[in-house]
A = this chain, B = another copy of it.
Amino acid sequence: MNQKLIFTNLVGKAIDDLVDELGNPATYVIVDVNTAQYVLPTLTEQTHAVQNAHVITIKAGDVNKNLDSVQTVWKALHDAGATRNSVIINVGGGVVTDLGGFAAATFKRGIQVINVPTTLLGAVDASVGGKTGINFNGYKNEIGSFTEPLASIISTAFFVTLSQQELLSGYAEMLKHGLLENREELDTLLAYSVVYPIFDPERLLELLRRSVAVKQRIVEQDFTETGLRKALNLGHTIGHAFESLALRRQSPIPHGYAVAWGCVVSLVLSHLKLGFPSDVLHKFAQYVRTNYNAFDFSCDDYPALIEFMRHDKKNMTQDEIAFTLLADVGDPRVNTVVEPDDIRSALDIYRDLMGI
């Protein structure tokens, strides 16, 4: 990995230092309508490079993470005279960093990027790994690139504007990293709460630093996701199935919640198939139940859920359903094939554990 990861709550200074180091090139800030309103005014006060920047505002929401928005950014960059020496500063959640990153990676064959994630999910998940992308033709992240930013500035300073739901959604990915790391890290995370009254920006920044390091180690070993990187998919095949079922019911659920619930089912499967310790499973399930409640479904939904899992794009073939499971905390086993009977048993046990 070549990108710089800067953990600080002095975001303005970090941006100015980076732009200084580059010899003060022209800067272009990409925001969405939300970060334009809630984050940009503060950053503009704190930061010369943002003060002097040309600001490009895109529409908010995953539904606008598309080619139309990318074309808007490309045109705006061209009209404002951006060159290969310019620097793009993405200020926002995953939509802004994914889309702004893709626009930058492809404008004049690539210009430099500084990412300033403003959501916990963006900080923990999108800031490492170099994934950029947009939705296309009805498929999520169908078009994109693996292109690392020059730097990601990771801060908890902007999280005060996030809802409790957004904080919990991001924290689910941190819990996942804890499961992939070791018991000590997991216990630390399960003893913390990302929402008030325990929330503390400096403490969260420290936890974030350690959580991002977990992802970083895994990504470095497998940048283009051919093997080990699939460990990061823990909880996601099942989580995606929950999201798809929720969409079909026309009541979508936050991604992070789906991941938290998906991790519970994955731990049940890990227990059944690989002897994952039941005390950890119970402790984890209890934390999720308390903080995230439960995704509610009955055994009538099992066929639909299994069908969604079968079509997950990370599967190697369409005949088998494969998961990332854990033999223990910190011991992931990617591409573990599981029979539908075991999935049904795991869903039964999940419903018991979550009290539904």
Contacts and interface: CB of A to CB of B under 8 A. Distances in A.
Interface in A91-139: 102, 105-110, 131-133, 136-137, 139
A102 B225 CA distance: 20
A74 interface: yes
Interface stretch (A140-148, A182-190, A298-306): A140-148
B74 A109 contact: no
Most buried by B among A74, A108, A109: A109
B142 A108 contact: yes
A78 B142 contact: yes
Contacts of A142: 74, 78, 107-108
Given A109-B146, A145-B110, A145-B145, A71 B67 contact: yes
A224 interface: yes
Given A67-B71, A71-B67, A145 B106 contact: yes
B75 A137 contact: yes
Interface in A59-78: 67, 71, 74-75, 78
A91 B312 CA distance: 32
B224 A110 contact: yes
Interface in A323-349: none
A102 to B, nearest CB: 8
B107 A143 contact: yes
- A contact patch SS: mixed
A106 B74 contact: no
User: Oligomeric state, in number of copies?
Assistant: 2
B109 A133 contact: yes
A68 to B, nearest CB: 11
Contacts of A108: 142-144
Contacts of A133: 109
Nearest to A103: B143
Most buried by B among A67, A84, A110, A142: A142
Nearest to A79: B137
A110 B224 CA distance: 9
A74 B137 contact: yes
Given A71-B67, A145-B145, A139 B78 contact: yes
Given A67-B71, A71-B67, A145-B145, A78 B137 contact: yes
Contacts of A107: 142-143
A158 B125 CA distance: 48
A98 to B, nearest CB: 11
Most buried by B among A67, A75, A132, A143: A143
A74 B110 contact: no
Nearest to A133: B109
Nearest to A108: B142
Nearest to A134: B106
A143 B74 contact: yes
A109 B145 contact: yes
A78 B136 CA distance: 10
A142 B108 CA distance: 5
Interface in A29-88: 67, 71, 74-75, 78, 84
Closest 7 CB pairs of A and B: A109-B144, A106-B143, A109-B146, A109-B145, A106-B145, A75-B137, A78-B137
